[in-house]
Amino acid sequence: MTAQYPLHSHIVLLSNLTQLSPLLYLTGFPGLETVEHWIFIFFFLMYLVAISGNCFILIIVKTNPRLHTPMYYLLSFLAFTDLGLSVSTLPTTMGIFWFKSHGIYFGACQIQMFCIHSFSFMESSVLLVMSFDRFVAICYPLRYSVIITGQRVVRVGLIVILRGPVALIPIVSLLKTFPYCGSRVLSHSFCLHQEVIHLACTDTTFNNLYGLSLVVFTVMLDLVLIALSYGVILHTVARMTSKEERLRAFQTCTSHLCAVLVFFVPMMGLSLVHRFGKNAPPAVHLLMANVYLFVPPMLNPIIYSIKTKEIRRVISKLLG
């Protein structure tokens, strides 16, 4: 059966428009065009869970004075970044799978990639701050209320929010100055810097090195510091004499550790596929990118709703 919107015709059309309009072409799942409305339902449910779940977390923390503590402020930051990540990919993904709208203007593509990468860096930073919070709570419990205060958390949160976007401005802005040739086809339903940069018909060494340095000194550094924090936490927990104390300490870290794994494992997988899996099937790239961007925002509210006692208590009151 011939697909209703064959990929080749779209590529030819956009190639003809290359000189007239700065359009890029986003793709869904090649070969599955006839069932994209079913794929839309699946993605719509993921978006529904992610957006409603993170809004629910934000509302609960906002409306319950008992949750106005540093730990829940950090959880609010995490919910905010997950919400931003979901909203960043929503327009183009839903446009492709429901309205068959594959074209995107270059300026809109720049805005989308800026938002996606900004919220990704924000989430990495929030997870790092949360690991420090757990580190102080377990290793220095008597000094926790002195070291971790609401005011300090808010200040750090502002730094976290600004760090990624400010660092991204140079490389995202430079993309507009490059000449582009060829079909201008991207392999995802959203714009990523590492894909758009490959379409440029000029030397992009600066962008490549800057982008790599940015990843190393933000995401990779965050991951290393998180690992070091948990190394010290595990050492402290192992020295506890009481089994109940050890179990309680592990339980306070469970939800955060799950969030770290859910975020960093797909991110590392996507990075490896882009750099070393150029001969991998397109389905592998699509799968890794979609898992990286869609799964953490969907799972984090579920994880914290199940693992956090205060949130479970609020949910029980609402349902009861």
pLDDT in the model for residue 241: 78
> What domain count does the chain have?
1
Q: How many CB atoms lie within 10 A of CB 211?
A: 18
**How large is the average pLDDT for residues 155-172?**
87
Query: Which is more confident, 60 or 12?
Result: 60
Range of the domain at 315: 23-319
pLDDT band with cut points at 50, 70 and 90 for residue 274: low
Between the ranges 132-146, 238-252, 279-293, where is the mean pLDDT highest? Answer: 132-146
> Which pTM does this prediction carry?
0.86
Contact yes or no for 232/135 (Cβ under 8 A): yes
At 285, is the secondary structure helix, strand, or coil? Answer: helix
Q: Is residue 2 a part of any domain in this protein?
A: no
Domain annotation covers residue 142 = yes
- Is residue 233 one of the residues assigned to a domain? yes
Q: Is residue 8 part of a domain?
A: no
Amino acid at 48: L
- Give residue-wise pLDDT tens across range 35-52: 767 778 888 899 999 999
For residue 252, the domain's CATH number is 1.20.1070.10
**C-beta of residue 53 within 8 angstroms of C-beta of residue 298:** yes
The pLDDT of residue 22: 66
Whether 4 has a pLDDT exceeding 50, the answer reads no
